[in-house]
């Protein structure tokens, strides 16, 4: 999110407004030729400018009267199969009583939450009713990245599902797939930021995490926090009129939502332990989640159960990140679940994610003694033989909007890394930014989870595997990736989807 269209100081505002004006001119010029989808757009040109001139009053929870999206449905597999349809369409919605045209899966933002079990077969017909191409990625799933032998697609992000077309996806969830919180979203190169920003993301939960808990916790209450911002300035939720979409971050034209609601109320009894699934399913914003007076016990990171349960009062979630945690309610009354992440440019992001209503008085802390210490056997990749080491350099140019890995932008026809199945590789991820720009880059690789070995040269005590890690500004992260079973091409990229769309992505091919 640091590619910056800034808006928190005067210089930033001038820069922002200049860029915005240029974009607006470009859009108006390009629009009539490039799209049949112009009338809603034109209707909203004026409100955009208005929204820009009058930033929102922040830190005030509001139900945003007039927000009228459907609630996301929970869809469960049955008898080993989840068969469903995902229809992508424009949706005329209302946020803060401003009308916008967003994009939605089955009419809700986020889309339906899928719940499946290891060994399940997932069949999804993706129907594209947009006027632009789209596709699907299943973030965190360890499944094939290619097409299946019957012609259906697995987690193949190279697919182009054209307007008006239907694409069948079939995922065969491995029988030993880890339980935890994953998600799905559009991954069509150059349009993914705009499409996810406009609404195209949803939860994908592999069930079974509770079964790894002590008996007394196996039936505990669970809450999913599918967190994402929703922009309500039309300028930021269209991909129709530009070669790329533009970023809405820090423009004051977005609000955090949880399961499609602004500041929902979560009920818990004092002393009660619940399982909370935090997932950042937005396109770029970072979140630091805190519940004052309470501690989170991390059971799974990025949908992967940990070999050592760890606790923290704050959880940092860049785009794509998930934490499944236990929380034992301490205190009484309404406590804000805060996002305390402060931008280097200001603090507008300090806001309330949800309100936790703790009822009754804490009886005792009996539950805290039953927090498990481990959910899986430790498989330390430090102890494995490394067959290959690579260095990947990440660099940004925020003026030209180019974001590169090893000094090149993404090319769908170029294989950047070829790896052999059955090996463990060590990748050193270097963030060259730090002089002219202060970008961090959340690195994400599809299909295979990795272990963090060191951060900025300091050994890192990993408690499990993950699929998303921050490469700090001017710093580096060393990871080890096991390439076990799935052949084929997939991608790794910066999960600030804006950076990915503008080139910070590469192809890894896994071969026998
Ligand atoms: Cu980045």
The CATH number for 460's domain is 2.60.40.420
pTM: 0.85
User: How far, in Å, from the CA of 249 to the mean position of ligand 1?
Assistant: 14
Does one domain contain both 314 and 428? no
User: How far, in Å, from the CA of 120 to the mean position of ligand 1?
Assistant: 34
- Residue 75 falls within a domain, yes or no? no
User: How far, in Å, from the CA of 450 to the mean position of ligand 1?
Assistant: 19
User: How far, in Å, from the CA of 153 to the mean position of ligand 1?
Assistant: 28
- Residue 157 falls within a domain, yes or no? no
Domain end point (choices 310, 337, 370): 370
User: How far, in Å, from the CA of 500 to the mean position of ligand 1?
Assistant: 7
Tokens of 335: 């406590």
The whole-angstrom separation of Cα 118 and Cα 137 is 18
Backbone angles phi, psi at 230, to 5 degrees: -125, 115
Does one domain contain both 296 and 398? no
User: How far, in Å, from the CA of 212 to the mean position of ligand 1?
Assistant: 35
User: How far, in Å, from the CA of 76 to the mean position of ligand 1?
Assistant: 34
The whole-angstrom separation of Cα 328 and Cα 20 is 46
What is the tally of structural domains in the chain?
A: 2
- Residue 498 falls within a domain, yes or no? yes
Its domain, for residue 492, covers 381-511
User: How far, in Å, from the CA of 19 to the mean position of ligand 1?
Assistant: 20
The whole-angstrom separation of Cα 368 and Cα 309 is 13
Task: List, for residues 289-330, the tens digit of each pLDDT value.
Answer: 999 999 999 999 999 999 999 999 999 999 999 999 999 999
User: How far, in Å, from the CA of 395 to the mean position of ligand 1?
Assistant: 8
- Residue 248 falls within a domain, yes or no? no
Does one domain contain both 460 and 344? no
Does one domain contain both 320 and 430? no
Does one domain contain both 392 and 324? no
pLDDT value of position 306: 98
- Residue 273 falls within a domain, yes or no? yes
Does one domain contain both 398 and 355? no
Does one domain contain both 273 and 345? yes
User: How far, in Å, from the CA of 151 to the mean position of ligand 1?
Assistant: 34
User: How far, in Å, from the CA of 44 to the mean position of ligand 1?
Assistant: 30
User: How far, in Å, from the CA of 441 to the mean position of ligand 1?
Assistant: 4
User: How far, in Å, from the CA of 340 to the mean position of ligand 1?
Assistant: 21
Average pLDDT by consecutive 10-residue portion of the chain (512 residues)? 31 34 35 28 28 28 50 94 95 68 88 98 97 95 97 97 97 98 96 88 98 93 93 53 46 73 91 96 91 96 98 96 96 91 48 91 60 95 96 92 94 97 98 84 98 98 98 96 97 94 96 96
pLDDT value of position 456: 97
User: How far, in Å, from the CA of 501 to the mean position of ligand 1?
Assistant: 10
User: How far, in Å, from the CA of 1 to the mean position of ligand 1?
Assistant: 7
The whole-angstrom separation of Cα 272 and Cα 362 is 8
User: How far, in Å, from the CA of 394 to the mean position of ligand 1?
Assistant: 8
The whole-angstrom separation of Cα 445 and Cα 63 is 36
Kindly tell me the sign of the dihedral angle through the C-alpha atoms of 10, 11, 12, 15.
Answer: positive
The whole-angstrom separation of Cα 273 and Cα 275 is 7
User: How far, in Å, from the CA of 499 to the mean position of ligand 1?
Assistant: 5
For residue 60, give Cα distances in angstroms to 8, 57, 334.
Answer: 18, 7, 15
User: How far, in Å, from the CA of 193 to the mean position of ligand 1?
Assistant: 12
Domain end point (choices 370, 399, 429): 370
pLDDT value of position 9: 31
User: How far, in Å, from the CA of 259 to the mean position of ligand 1?
Assistant: 26
User: How far, in Å, from the CA of 318 to the mean position of ligand 1?
Assistant: 11
Domain end point (choices 313, 347, 370): 370
Determine contact, residues 418/511, Cβ cutoff 8 Å.
Answer: yes
User: How far, in Å, from the CA of 290 to the mean position of ligand 1?
Assistant: 24
Determine contact, residues 66/94, Cβ cutoff 8 Å.
Answer: yes
Does one domain contain both 385 and 419? yes
User: How far, in Å, from the CA of 409 to the mean position of ligand 1?
Assistant: 12
Determine contact, residues 327/296, Cβ cutoff 8 Å.
Answer: yes
- Residue 361 falls within a domain, yes or no? yes
The whole-angstrom separation of Cα 410 and Cα 304 is 28
Residues with C-beta atoms within 5 A of ion ligand 1: 441, 494, 496, 499
- Residue 146 falls within a domain, yes or no? no
User: How far, in Å, from the CA of 96 to the mean position of ligand 1?
Assistant: 30
Does one domain contain both 311 and 330? yes
User: How far, in Å, from the CA of 475 to the mean position of ligand 1?
Assistant: 13
User: How far, in Å, from the CA of 346 to the mean position of ligand 1?
Assistant: 19
Does one domain contain both 392 and 486? yes
Determine contact, residues 212/219, Cβ cutoff 8 Å.
Answer: no
Does one domain contain both 445 and 481? yes
- Residue 122 falls within a domain, yes or no? no
pLDDT value of position 102: 80
Backbone angles phi, psi at 413, to 5 degrees: -100, 10
Does one domain contain both 463 and 503? yes
């Amino acid at each position: 999110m640091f590619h910056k269209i800034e808006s928190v100081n005067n210089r930033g505002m001038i820069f922002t407004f200049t860029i915005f004006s240029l974009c607006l001119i470009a859009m108006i010029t390009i629009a009539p030729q490039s799209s049949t989808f112009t009338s809603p757009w034109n209707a909203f040109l004026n409100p955009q400018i208005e929204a820009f001139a009058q930033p929102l009053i922040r830190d005030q929870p509001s139900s945003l009267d007039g927000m009228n999206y459907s609630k996301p449905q929970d869809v469960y597999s049955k008898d080993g199969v989840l068969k469903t349809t995902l229809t992508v369409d424009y949706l005329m919605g209302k946020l803060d009583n401003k009308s916008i045209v967003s994009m939605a899966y089955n009419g809700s933002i986020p889309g339906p939450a899928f719940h499946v079990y290891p060994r399940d077969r997932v069949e999804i017909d993706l129907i594209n009713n947009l006027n632009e191409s789209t596709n699907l990625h299943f973030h965190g799933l360890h499944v094939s990245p290619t097409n299946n032998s019957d012609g259906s697609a697995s987690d193949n992000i190279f697919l182009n599902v054209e307007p008006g077309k239907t694409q069948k996806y079939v995922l065969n969830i491995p029988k030993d797939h880890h339980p935890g919180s994953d998600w799905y979203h559009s991954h069509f190169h150059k349009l993914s930021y705009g499409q996810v920003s406009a609404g195209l993301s949803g939860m994908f939960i592999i069930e079974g995490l509770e079964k790894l808990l002590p008996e007394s916790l196996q039936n505990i209450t669970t809450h999913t926090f599918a967190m994402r911002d929703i922009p309500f300035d039309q300028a930021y939720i269209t991909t129709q009129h530009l070669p790329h979409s533009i970023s809405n971050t820090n423009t004051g034209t977005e609000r955090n939502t949880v399961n499609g609601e602004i500041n929902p109320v979560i009920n818990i009894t004092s002393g009660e332990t619940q399982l909370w699934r935090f997932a950042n399913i937005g396109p770029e914003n970072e979140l630091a989640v805190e519940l004052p007076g309470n501690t989170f016990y991390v059971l799974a990171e990025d949908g992967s159960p940990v070999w050592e349960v760890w606790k923290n009062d704050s959880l940092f979630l860049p785009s794509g990140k998930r934490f499944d945690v236990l929380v034992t309610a301490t205190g009484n009354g309404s406590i804000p679940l805060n996002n305390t992440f402060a931008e280097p440019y200001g603090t507008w992001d300090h806001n309330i994610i949800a309100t936790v209503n703790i009822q009754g008085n804490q009886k005792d802390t009996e539950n805290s003694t039953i927090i498990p210490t481990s959910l899986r056997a430790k498989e330390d990749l430090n102890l494995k033989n490394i067959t290959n080491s690579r260095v990947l350099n990440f660099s940004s140019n925020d003026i030209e909007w180019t974001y590169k890995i090893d000094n090149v932008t993404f090319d769908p026809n170029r294989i950047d890394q070829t790896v052999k199945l059955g090996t463990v590789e060590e990748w050193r991820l270097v963030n060259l930014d730090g002089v002219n720009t202060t970008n961090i880059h959340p690195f994400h690789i599809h299909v295979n989870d990795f272990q963090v070995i060191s951060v900025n040269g300091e050994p890192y005590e990993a408690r499990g595997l993950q699929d998303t890690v921050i490469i700090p500004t001017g710093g580096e992260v060393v990871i080890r990736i096991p390439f076990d079973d799935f052949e084929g091409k997939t991608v790794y990229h910066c999960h600030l989807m804006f950076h990915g769309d503008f080139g910070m992505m590469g192809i890894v091919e896994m071969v026998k």
